[in-house]
Structure 1
């Protein structure tokens, strides 16, 4: 392993923020991961485990060891007439994995095309888009217990998935590192096209016969039209979660804001789009120096180049406060502040 000192983390976070790591190492196998964790020179240092860097807001230099998880590999572990289980290493790029499944006609995650990040990070916050979440296709994951250095297996129930939530963001935060994830996918597709602009986009693409690839292509087209490419403008995709509010609060709000969209969660709770709230609060297209709110999607905070994490954090706090003042709704960040 090549352990480096005072390494810039700018290439390793999609915001393109300049921050340095006191120590940095990339691990390609579970054994390498165990070795670095047992290395006496680093055992007592703080550690940051890095995937694709798409859910991080770096607000300072990292005093400790940054471990880049680069565990690769995709394999079929089970198959019958209708179902296939695919196991992927935590370091696999999520979109590359989705494309592998689309190309092999394995259905279930085509709606999650073009989401940034890695396979290992996907269950951490139960990523989702266009009516599909990781929990819908999740079979199990393997993770390294950072105390015992033993690999443990977590079932769907054990992960305690919620909306952009899992047990790894709460009671098990900082106690495990995901090494692989296994997904159960379908050979016979059940298409989900009701969410967002999928049906409209399919019509514009002149799609007459639905397919896994057509759904994926439509999602990619929508995301590219609305979300900036991190290679061009630094961002982490959706910065805030879509809030879930009591039905009673929603009914009160629509008296003043009759066009407020909503998506029923259950009989007592509805989800409202954070992007709509932020836009109505006047932030869409806002710019302050080298940071701002994206002009096409208010849910995305951006670094135009040269901005820093603390500036973005302060902007996020101003957005949160204005939405709270206007709607009485508190927005929660999807990204992790470091």
Structure 2
């Protein structure tokens, strides 16, 4: 399949469904396309999977490269399965495939939207499990050198919703991820409703509970545009968390790194009275305050101003400043909330 480049609406390529355009867009279905695209487009393109964690703030004035690479390969050691997956594979479908083939481990991450190639960038996580726990290595194509590179788990520098690919390795297009799934499976049941399952829970039961919980709380992007959790759960010093807990006993607080505690951003937003609040066509979801939604006619400006309002109200009430988890993309590439607000015309 040869690559074609044409101006195109970005609405199908971002789950917010915002009506913005790219100057050029290419769907990459074969690795062989990468070298020719790199030679023809020396400027770094925007690398996109399913657009489930993106907020386009302006029309994009360069190339958008969409990962549609497919394929899986399995090998094993006496203790684990090694599963190499091409970056364009759908994440949730991979979780289902692993369960169908008796290779559990990823079930806590069920129904997280997006592609396998996007998963290391954010170090996706849910219900006590992060991708970093199962990542063996990442293969990428460097848009600066035109060469492939293999990253060990340590080189990926995983953190909370963070990795090297969000910083110094932003020029790397992830072509595959290799997972190490231990054969001695152990359920992770410490978060929310999973504790109800008990230690004898099966991988299928964990999968079903995670899916049911997410479907009850989170809107389907196909029906109501959104990019999942808009803000990160904030980390604060433990003394501040303890003080907040005294003032608001129902505040969920989780252990983090030494001296730090993690707070539930959705709870903070809800307590600030923001559930259902709208600006233009954008709103805070009525079931899960951590999610900002497009009610059908939202503009990027609506979403940005709503995000700023949420951040302001939470900071005023709790003294905690929320940081967006969603990646914001301006005319030339990555941007940030304050910068995007300043660029509104």
Identify the TM-score tier after normalising by the shorter chain: over 0.9
Shift of 1:297: 0.2
Shift of 1:147: 1.6
Task: Write the distance in 1 (CA, Å) between the matches of 2:132 and 2:77.
Answer: 21
Partner of 2:179: 183
Shift of 1:16: 0.8
Shift of 1:6: 2.2
Structure 2 residues without counterparts, runs of 5 or longer:
330-345
Partner of 2:42: 43
1:76-225 alignment runs, 5 A limit: 76=74, 78-173=75-170, 175-200=171-196, 202=197, 210-225=201-216
Task: Write the distance in 2 (CA, Å) between the matches of 1:335 and 1:267.
Answer: 26
Instruction: Name the TM-score, length of structure 2 as normaliser.
Output: 0.92
Task: Write the distance in 1 (CA, Å) between the matches of 2:279 and 2:247.
Answer: 30
Task: Write the distance in 1 (CA, Å) between the matches of 2:323 and 2:294.
Answer: 20
Partner of 2:29: 28
Task: Write the distance in 2 (CA, Å) between the matches of 1:169 and 1:227.
Answer: 25
Shift of 1:222: 0.4
Runs of 4+ in 1 over 6 A off after TM superposition: none
Shift of 1:258: 2.1
**1:105 touches 1:212 (CA, 8 Å); kept in 2?**
no
Instruction: Name the TM-score, length of structure 1 as normaliser.
Output: 0.94
CA deviation map 1:94-135 (0-9, x unaligned):
011111111112121110000000001100010000000011
CA deviation map 1:261-308 (0-9, x unaligned):
101114411111000000011111222332100000000000011111
State the superposition RMSD in angstroms. Answer: 1.5
Q: How many residues align?
A: 328
Task: Write the distance in 2 (CA, Å) between the matches of 1:80 and 1:210.
Answer: 25
**2:28 touches 2:69 (CA, 8 Å); kept in 1?**
yes
Partner of 1:329: 320
Structure 1 residues without counterparts, runs of 5 or longer:
none
Match of 2:68 among 54, 67, 70: 70
Task: Write the distance in 2 (CA, Å) between the matches of 1:180 and 1:2.
Answer: 20
